[in-house]
Copies of this chain bind each other. A is one copy, B any other.
Amino acid sequence: MQIDLEGFMLTQQRKAHILHVLKQTGQVIAKQLSQELDLSEDTIRRDLRELAADGLLQRVHGGALPASPALADFSGRQTIATDGKQAIGRAAAAMIRPNQVIFIDGGTTAVQLARQLPPDLVATIVTHSPSVAVELVNYPNITVDLIGGRLFKHSVVAVGASAIEAIGRYRADIYFMGATGIHPEIGLTTGDSEEAAVKRMLCHHAAETVVLASREKLGAASPYLVVSMNDVQCLVVERDTPQESLQAYTEMDLTIIKA
């Protein structure tokens, strides 16, 4: 690959180049890059460290690999469904009434919800999670609409412009949302900006947003804001959630359901 020979390459350009090579070849090697860009390996290593800190790649000895630390993580998480998440899923499923149009989010808790639906439920379920879609194959009376887009592998959901656009064509009765962070003042947050945008869109296109709040999410915050608590109508929490974790929410205009 030919690199700019006259002007200097800015640091940011260099980082972009590293990510580009990583995307094209699936790996980058520190020594190789330093020769290609005519820089010391120290500089390259620094770049790699910083990019890794931003979660844009995975640092390994000798270079870097694409970021996918959540890969085995997810398949692991999926099998071990805690009782708490099952209960949340069951309580949420009970909220659905016949012939409603429902958005179901991605994530482990949402998959639990899909598993807990009454088998004879008549409804239309719209989801950007292929995992949820696959779960719903066995429900003969449920129409499943799959939202397409680029697959964000960490959460296994479709994101991006086409996903946003597709969501815009729906008006759902309920959106069952998962979130990695639920905080009374900050609001609902997640770890990826694209995913946050999709969740926001889903929220705004549903009459009611119900948050599936498993214990470890309460009081936490992630980098990207989805919506504030004002945009949420209902919270489903585990039965044995400590009262003090819920205190801040009880004063808001919010239904709290204990599963």
Give the B-binding residues of A (Cβ under 8 A). 4, 7-8, 10-13, 23-27, 29, 32, 58, 60-63, 65-68, 71-72, 74-75, 98-99, 120-122, 128, 130-131, 133-134, 136-138, 140-141, 143-151, 153, 156, 158, 162-163, 166, 169
| Contacts known (A146-B149, A151-B145, A153-B144); A62 close to B10, Cβ less than 8 A | yes
- Please name all residues of chain B whose beta carbon is closer than 8 Å to the beta carbon of A10 when the two chains form the complex: 27, 29, 60-63, 65
Contact A25 B13 (CB under 8 A): no
16 CB contacts below 8 A, A to B, read A7-B27, A10-B61, A11-B61, A12-B60, A12-B61, A24-B99, A27-B120, A71-B140, A75-B138, A130-B133, A131-B134, A143-B150, A147-B148, A148-B148, A148-B166, A162-B169
Residue of B nearest to A144 (CB): B151
Q: For the complex, what is the distance from the CA of A138 to the CA of B156, rounded to whole Å?
A: 10
B149→A26 contact, CB < 8 A: no
Q: In the docked arrangement, what's the CA distance between A121 and B27, Å?
A: 11
Closest to A149 in B: B146
Kindly provide the distance from the CB of A69 to the nearest chain B CB, expressed in whole angstroms. 10
Q: Select from chain B the residue with minimum beta-carbon distance to A148.
A: B148
Q: Report Cα–Cα, A24/B120, bound state, in Å.
A: 11
CB distance from A140 to the nearest CB of B (A): 4
Q: Bound complex: CA of A52 vs CA of B122, how far in Å?
A: 20
Knowing A7-B25, A10-B65, A60-B10 are in contact, say whether A150-B144 is a contact too (CB < 8 A): yes
Nearest CB in chain B: distance from A8 CB, A = 7
In the complex, the answer to whether B62 meets A140 with C-beta atoms within 8 Å is no
- Are A68's CB and B140's CB within 8 A? yes
Given the complex of chains A and B, what is the CA–CA distance between A145 and B68 in angstroms? 17
Specify the chain B residue showing the minimal Cβ separation from A67. B140
Cross-chain contact of A146 among B61, B98, B151 (Cβ < 8 A) = B151
Chain B residues whose C-beta falls within 8 Å of the C-beta of A67 in the assembled complex: 140
Which residues of B have CB within 8 Å of A27?
4, 7, 10, 13, 120
With a cutoff of 8 Å between Cβ atoms, the chain B residues found around residue A144 in the complex are: 150-151, 153
- Cα A63 to Cα B9 in complex, Å, equals 10
Q: How far is the CB of A251 from chain B (nearest CB, A)?
A: 39
A4 and B32 CA atoms in complex are apart in Å by 15
Check A166/B156 contact, CB under 8 A, given A149-B145, A149-B146: no
Query: Which residues of the partner chain B approach A11 to less than 8 Å between Cβ atoms?
Result: 60-62
A65 touches B13 (CB 8 A): yes
